[in-house]
Chains A and B, each alone.
Chain A
């Protein structure tokens, strides 16, 4: 794809020689900007064509809107305890029913969605950044750096991710930021491995050789040239991470760590409701469905992105 574009762009410039001498860098930049823009547009177009990812995008968009406009949409204050409606079943007054303290579940879902979604996205983005940073350095640098970092990764991933998250949560205590820390640390080895694998593949590419030949500093090579090109596949992994983070954080809350009630986060709602599951199953049903739908949406989008980014699947 890269090669095709460069050729077609160069063909367009009729003043061949001069341009090639002058603004070699200038054209490069414009090239890349144009390249990437139309790349993004192309990817977007392909995603829309794919029915599954289209549905996913729409679902996620709806969820986002609902959650962003929670203050306007929520019928009640999420912490308001209506003592006459303890454990109320779904009715006209409380569309999704009320929990054991009389708080409206729909309102809590909307407000809590902010925490849950924020949690998912922050964990995924942190994971992406850290993975890209270390993975690309490791992938590009020499064998010894590679070995050391990989062994460190092995040690960290020898303790399974959930376990790590549980341990860190116990040390740091419950809470929003501590949960982000716990989930991110649990996911670091995998994101580093992923970025490293891609960096290893990219290493052999010609444009990097060219940059090296031009005496670009290693740092520049890695971050200015290589990373932008391995971001796209990483983004697929990142969207999957969003779903994992949301589910993982709610698992943590469920076992008593992570985010605790009275915060309205979806996992915390499940944790609080499990004692009343028998007589009032609606308290467990709705938060679970919320998590399911959100994670489903992100996974659909991730799938669609992957298909859209894979050139071999163009037809």
Chain B
């Protein structure tokens, strides 16, 4: 088992390096000159040329790529922001916890609310819980998140004055971003949970259990639900990635100073170090979460666990 984990971690690092190369290459092709952006309207052409030299922007692709990879993966130095002039990691150390907090709260809420709702709906198939859930979750899955965020802001902040408009500060500032981020995933998780439970309810082992005369309550809670959770947990990993990406747009709407807004302003300001660092950070977290979910999935499902153990044994 540990060999498997070690192998996956190694792959993770490799994937991250490839992602770093990918993001570097993409930014290479973006038109626009950071030196010009920084000095636009103020510096002369010589100033701009000097700055380009200083920032190493005139070096060939391989040299710049090499420097970047070396600094990022060996020295953990992501450089300084062209616009803000401070070290990127410093800024990220402030912003990443905020974005992650938002993400984690969203995931926690969406699982804690969504999964029970879905299970409930599945257990009362065709009852009003089921029909109601289907309709409501349909709507929330389809609604464009940023539009929902705008309308919420209009309603709760401007018309009712219940909540502050933007920024961070008190716990009240977090309410709307979290809700905007979560509604879609609650619906998603509820539907996933519901269909997972329904699928499991048709499985052979459930019929067997019933045939054996096991109490219905035990059939549901000891046999069905635990097995149904496996695909749901799998989906949670994807949820996390989806939430992180959707938070980019949500942060922009609420002027929430997290990684999303940092990255968006860096993209338009051609602030390469910031974009690279943000993307790598987000990619790293997504990859780690997925690895974690895979491992838990493997741990929980004895069939898969056996597969891995056998695979490792074969390799010997």
Nearest Cβ distance between residue A257 and chain B, in whole angstroms?
9
Verify if B6 is at the interface (C-beta below 8 Å from A).
no
At the interface, yes or no: B138 with Cβ under 8 Å from chain A? Answer: yes
Bits for B138-167, please: 1 = Cβ < 8 Å to A, else 0: 110111111100110010001000000000
Residues of A within 8 A of B202 (CB): 312
Query: Which of B19, B26, B151, B245 lies in contact with A284, CB distance below 8 A?
Result: B151
B234-262 with Cβ < 8 A to chain A? 241-242, 244-246, 248-249, 252
Q: Residue on B with the closest CB to A278?
A: B158
Q: Which of A163, A166, A292 has the most CB of B within 10 A?
A: A163
8 Å CB contacts to B: which residues of A284-315? Answer: 284-285, 288, 291-292, 295-296, 299-300, 303, 312
Task: Determine whether the beta carbon of A291 is less than 8 Å from that of B279.
Answer: no
Question: In chain A, residues 271-289, which have Cβ atoms closer than 8 Å to a Cβ of chain B?
Answer: 274, 277-278, 281, 284-285, 288
Kindly state whether residue B45 has any CB partner on chain A within 8 Å: no
- The number of chain B residues with a CB under 8 A from chain A is 46
Q: Which residues from chain B contact A277 at a C-beta distance below 8 Å?
A: 150, 154
Contacts A171-B29, A254-B249, A299-B142 given: A270-B279 contact, CB under 8 Å?
A: no
> Are A159 and B241 within 8 A (Cβ)?
no
- Asked if A168 and B26 make an inter-chain contact with CB atoms under 8 angstroms apart, the answer reads yes
Q: Does A34 contact B (CB under 8 A)?
A: no
| Chain A residues, CB < 8 A from B27 | 167
Would you call A170 and B30 a contact (CB within 8 A)?
A: yes
- Roughly how many angstroms separate A285 CA and B263 CA in the complex, as a whole number? 28
Question: Please, which residues of chain A bring their CB within 8 A of the CB of B158?
Answer: 278
User: Which listed residue, A159, A163, A171, A274, touches B248 by the CB 8 Å rule?
Assistant: A163
Q: Is B287 interfacial (CB 8 A cutoff)?
A: yes
Q: Would you call B144 and A250 a contact (CB within 8 A)?
A: yes
B143 proximity list for chain A (CB < 8 A): 292, 295
| Neighbouring B residues of A270 by C-beta, 8 Å | 146-147, 150
A184 within 8 A of B: no
In the complex the two chains form, what is the Cα distance from A170 to B30 in whole Å?
Answer: 6
Complexed CA–CA distance, A212 and B268 (Å): 54
- B16 CB–A CB distance under 8 Å: yes
| B144 and A296 within 8 A (CB) | no
Question: Shortest distance in angstroms between A314's beta carbon and chain B's nearest beta carbon?
Answer: 11
Chain A residues near B144 (CB, 8 Å)? 247, 250-251, 288, 291-292, 295
Instruction: Give the Cβ gap from A306 to chain B, nearest Cβ, in Å.
Output: 9
Min Cβ gap A60→B in Å is: 12
Q: Is A213 an interface residue (CB 8 A)?
A: no
Query: For B279, what are the chain A residues with a Cβ–Cβ distance below 8 Å?
Result: 159, 163, 167
Contacts of A299 in B (CB 8 A): 138, 141-142
Interface digits, A248-259 against B, CB 8 Å rule (1 contact, 0 not)?
001100111000
Q: Is B134 an interface residue, CB under 8 A from the partner? A: yes
**Residue pair A295, B15 in contact (C-beta under 8 Å):** no
Per-position contact with A for B17-39: 1 when CB-CB < 8 Å, else 0?
A: 01100110011011100000000
A113 on interface, CB distance cutoff 8 Å: no
Most A CB atoms within 10 A — which of B19, B142, B158?
B142
CB pair B244 A254 closer than 8 Å: no
Q: Do the beta carbons of A171 and B26 come within 8 Å of each other?
A: yes
Knowing A52-B134, A163-B245, A247-B144 touch, does A151 contact B267 (C-beta < 8 A)? Answer: no
Q: Give the shortest distance, in Å, between A194 (CB) and chain B (any CB).
A: 12
Complex contact B15–A285 (CB within 8 A): no
Q: How far is the CA of A161 from the CA of B241 in the complex (A)?
A: 9
Expressed in whole angstroms, the minimum distance between the Cβ of A245 and any Cβ of chain B is 12
For the complex, is A154 an interface residue (Cβ under 8 Å from B)?
yes
User: Is residue A162 contacting chain B, with contact meaning CB distance below 8 A?
Assistant: yes
Min CB distance B97 to A, Å, is 19
Chain B residues with CB under 8 Å of chain A are 11, 14-16, 18-19, 22-23, 26-27, 29-31, 134, 138-139, 141-147, 150-151, 154, 158, 202, 241-242, 244-246, 248-249, 252, 263-264, 267-268, 275, 279, 282-283, 286-287
- Beyond A154-B11, A296-B139, list 20 extra A-B contacts (CB 8 Å): A158-B16, A160-B245, A160-B282, A160-B283, A166-B267, A167-B27, A168-B26, A170-B268, A171-B26, A171-B29, A254-B146, A274-B150, A278-B158, A291-B144, A291-B147, A292-B144, A295-B142, A296-B138, A299-B138, A299-B141
10 contacts between A and B (CB under 8 A): A154-B11, A154-B15, A158-B15, A162-B249, A167-B267, A251-B145, A255-B264, A256-B268, A291-B144, A292-B144
Which 4 A-B residue pairs are closest in the complex by CB-CB distance? A288-B147, A162-B245, A160-B245, A295-B142
